[in-house]
Amino acid sequence: MNNFEEVRENEAVIVLMHAEAVLMKRIRDMKDGKPKYAASERMQELRSALKLVKAYDDGASIGELSGQEY
């Protein structure tokens, strides 16, 4: 992996972490109801994406990430 690819992967983690922090702040300020529940679902999607990117950065294969080992 060259330096440029490493920076781009770290950038993805940084962007996802920032999006998670912003969404978490918004969720805290919301009242209970459908919009808050929808935002919570979006938060789970962001966290799953973050875990996926971090696992890939740690060297997991595509098969391991998708749950299918080849």
**Alpha helix positions (H), the chain:** 3-29, 34-57, 62-66
Q: Identify which of 9, 3, 23, 7 has the alpha carbon closest to the alpha carbon of residue 55.
A: 9
d(CA 7, CA 2): 9
Asked whether the beta carbons of 42 and 23 are under 8 A apart, the reply is: yes
Asked whether the beta carbons of 54 and 28 are under 8 A apart, the reply is: no
- Is the whole-model pTM more than 0.75? no
pLDDT tens-digit readout, 11-70: 888 888 999 999 999 999 988 888 888 998 999 999 998 888 888 777 766 666 666 554
Asked whether the beta carbons of 43 and 20 are under 8 A apart, the reply is: yes
Q: Residue 8 has what pLDDT?
A: 63
